[in-house]
Chain A
Amino acid sequence: MKKYLIKYDYLLAEVVALIYYSLLCAKEWSWMFVSGDSGDWLAASSIWLVPQPYGSPLYILLGHFINLLPVDLVLGMTIGLSVIPASITVAITYLIVKKLFNIKLAIVSSLMLLSSAIFLSQATILEEYAIATMFLTLAVYFYVSDKKKLTLLILGLAGAIHIIAIAIAFLWLVLEFKNIKQWYKNFWIYFLVGIVPYGLILLLMYLPTPRLIAGDLSLGNLNSYLGSSGTIGSLSIYEAPKRILSFIQIVSISLSLGIVPFVLAFKKPWNNYTRIMIVTVVFCMWLYITNIDPSTWTFMCFAMPMMCIMIAIGLNKVKLQNEHIALISMFAIMLIIINSFSLNANLLTQEYSQATKYEQAVKELPDNSCIVLSSGGQYGLGLIYIMSQGKDVIPIYYCGDNYENDARYQSYVDYMDSKYSIRGSNTLEQVQDAIKQGKEVYMLNTMLRPEWKDSFNLEKINSSFFSKVASTNQLPVFEVQKR
């Protein structure tokens, strides 16, 4: 009995994590913990359409699979693609550290991961980070076990979930340059599993899917689609001190006292797996520190299990290991308890239920009415999800200041004409045409851009989200945006 317990102890780690994350996860549609993209993932899992850049083909395929099951799609995707993968990640972290060191350090590492605020946040909401992290951690396990084919296979699956995993795979390849021939021999596995799935996005562009997030398959549209999220590495130097402070804060509550052994893990000599982990961790930190989007702390989720493994590496280097372990574990358990109240996605979603309130507000609008809003962000993406559930509304997107040269917007204009018979080369013309056709037009208050304010005469209605467009004036004069 004891033999089996020791052999399958990682299952215990998984069950504990599964119960913890299941209790804490959001049970309804939520935008909690920067999961504003959830509307997009739900829409792309309900109907066939091109999701936001850069596609996440495997994630939406899994979403479609869950949609076939007789379960609620929101709960099914949260549990199936976040909670279960996150609990598996805890078990894999345990297994890796047990394989490298001993059970004691394995328990500390899995406790640290369980107490991590960044990882917890992404494990309990509908997002793609938990499952991509699971594959990345599993790839580390196979790398440590020297199973190259399986490493490539799993690394490929991570890449097909989130494009950042492809960049991470490239960095691993650079570190493994000495063994490039061995990796190259099996590279086809990675290509087949990690790169080919992105063909689905091209196929969806080619097929007559709704032209809401991406246009037809053309070079112009691809350029517009791929170039629409260039936020990495462009944080202003003036914003840097504030970002570094946020970075210190978020890392301090995610690693807590584990920071001490984590730093010790950087002490040389490094072996192959330490190098792989260091490069992944540093890359994810760089992604957040230099990104102009302040919500990209979620990218550090990819590195969280590796940071926890590095804590074990650091602890393995200290004297009085037991005392360090006792102190760090005690803090981790304390954080696990505090987080279960304070960062409880289920309770927070009920308290700040913006997503479901928005859904209700859209459903209360008359059928066949138009909504003016941005195409991206939680409201725009959420609207596509609500439409995919059968609500009959028409989205009129802000055209932006360079709409005449934006192939994606031109594709959308054609789609509006063919699908809804609303004509107009920009937002204002489309709104005017909709009003002329007798449709009711509403504008999302929170996303009303300053330059558009003078273009619409708005009427207040009994909704905290929308105002009614009574009439229109002129197209705003766009100024070159200072960035």
Chain B
Amino acid sequence: MNIIKSILTYKNYLISYCLIALIMGMSYFPVKSMMIDQTPWFTVQASELTLNVILLYGLVGLMIDKQTKKMSKVKSWGIFIIAFIMLTLFFVIVGGFNIRGLNLH
């Protein structure tokens, strides 16, 4: 009883736990089917715009935004543009597969 009483005092945690238990219950058998699937290796769509591009541009943008808050506008925009060019070059040269849909690869 004590345990339940104590947990009830932490309503937010209890809601989170219930929500996760619900998602877990709903996910168990779909995940099981995914895990035991023995069909031949396959890929899903890779297109012009990949999730990775969005993630990396977003991440780098956020990092620069955080670091350049105290700098002048010109300087921070300069860093932004340099980072943008470098990241684009990275995708073209190193990770060409990311934008192969644009026929740059």
* A253 CB-CB contact with B under 8 Å: yes
The docked-state distance in angstroms from the alpha carbon of A135 to that of B27 is 30
Of A70-78, A232-240, A425-433, the one touching chain B: A232-240
Q: How far is the CA of A254 from the CA of B12 in the complex (A)?
A: 22
| Secondary structure of the B contact surface, majority rule | helix
**Which residues of B lie under 8 Å from residue A327 when comparing CB positions?**
3, 7, 17
A85 at the interface (CB under 8 A from B): no
Assuming the contacts A246-B34, A248-B23, A343-B32, asked whether A290 and B10 have C-beta atoms less than 8 A apart, the reply is no
- Say whether B36 contacts A239, CB under 8 Å: no
Whether B54 sits at the interface, judged by CB under 8 Å, is yes
B interface footprint on A241-273 (CB within 8 Å = 1, 0 otherwise): 011001011101100110110000000000000
Q: Is there an interface contact between A294 and B28, defined as CB atoms closer than 8 Å?
A: no
When chains A and B are docked, how far (Å) is the Cα of A31 from the Cα of B40? 10
Say yes or no: A323 contacts B46, CB within 8 Å: no
B55→A260 contact, CB < 8 A: no
A446 at interface, CB cutoff 8 A: yes
Residues in chain A near residue B52, CB distance under 8 A: 233-235, 290
Q: Which of B1-54 contact A (CB under 8 A)?
A: 3, 6-7, 9-10, 13, 16-17, 20-21, 23-24, 26-28, 30-32, 34-38, 40-47, 49-54
Chain A CB count within 10 A is highest, among B6, B40, B101, for B40
Interface pair B40/A237, CB less than 8 Å apart: no
B78 CB–A CB distance under 8 Å: no
Query: Are the C-beta atoms of B35 and A252 separated by less than 8 Å?
Result: no
- Pick the contact of B27: A240, A250, A289, A293 (CB < 8 A): A250
| Cross-chain contact B27 with A237 (CB below 8 angstroms) | no
Question: CA–CA, A239 to B21, complex, Å?
Answer: 26
A220 CB–B CB distance under 8 Å = no
Evaluate contact between A233 and B36: CB separation under 8 angstroms.
no
Checking A252, A260, A323, A348 against B36 with a beta-carbon cut-off of 8 angstroms, the contacting residue is A348
Query: Contact between A326 and B45 (Cβ–Cβ < 8 Å)?
Result: no
Chain A residues 279-317 with CB under 8 Å of chain B are 286, 289-290, 292-295, 297
With A294-B42, A352-B36, A483-B45 already in contact, the answer to whether A233 and B98 are too (CB < 8 A) is yes
The answer to the question of A189 belonging to the interface, with a C-beta cut-off of 8 Å to chain B, is no
User: In the assembly, what is the distance between CA of A320 and CA of B14, in Å?
Assistant: 13
Instruction: Pick the contact of A240: B9, B28, B30, B51 (CB < 8 A).
Output: B51
Q: Specify which chain A residues have a CB less than 8 angstroms from the CB of B9 in the assembled complex.
A: 320
On chain A, the residues within 8 Å of B32 by CB distance are: 342-343
- In contact, A238 and B45 (Cβ under 8 angstroms): yes
Could you say which of B6, B17, B41, B42 has the most chain A C-beta atoms within 10 Å of its C-beta? B41
- A375–B13 alpha-carbon span in the complex (Å): 51
Docked-complex contact A376 and B41, CB < 8 angstroms: yes
B7 adjacent to A377 (CB under 8 Å): no
> Are A236 and B35 touching (Cβ within 8 A)?
no
A352 — which chain B residues lie within 8 A by C-beta?
36, 38
B80 at the interface (CB under 8 A from A): no
Residues A249 and B21 in contact, CB atoms below 8 Å apart: no
A117 at interface (Cβ–Cβ under 8 A)? yes
The reply to whether A290 and B55 form a contact with Cβ atoms under 8 Å apart is: yes
Tell which of A34, A231, A237, A483 touches B49, judged by Cβ atoms closer than 8 Å: A237
B45 vs chain A, min Cβ distance (A): 4
Measured CB to CB, the nearest residue on chain B to A349 is: B36
- The residue that A252 contacts in the complex, of B20, B44, B51, B101, with Cβ under 8 A, is B20
Supplied contacts A320-B7, A377-B40, 8 more A-B pairs, CB within 8 Å: A235-B44, A238-B47, A239-B51, A249-B30, A290-B50, A292-B43, A294-B44, A376-B41
B residues adjacent to A (C-beta < 8 A): 3, 6-7, 9-10, 13, 16-17, 20-21, 23-24, 26-28, 30-32, 34-38, 40-47, 49-55, 95, 97-98, 100-101
Interface residues of A (CB under 8 A from B): 31-34, 36, 117, 121, 230-231, 233-240, 242-243, 246, 248-250, 252-253, 256-257, 259-260, 286, 289-290, 292-295, 297, 318-320, 322-324, 326-327, 331, 338, 342-343, 348, 352, 354, 374, 376-379, 446-447, 483
- CB-based closest 8 A-B pairs: A249-B27, A233-B52, A236-B47, A236-B45, A323-B6, A290-B52, A240-B51, A234-B46
* 20 A–B pairs (Cβ distance < 8 Å), ordered by A: A31-B38, A36-B41, A235-B44, A235-B50, A236-B47, A239-B44, A240-B51, A243-B51, A246-B31, A248-B27, A290-B50, A290-B52, A292-B45, A293-B43, A318-B13, A322-B3, A323-B3, A331-B21, A338-B28, A447-B40
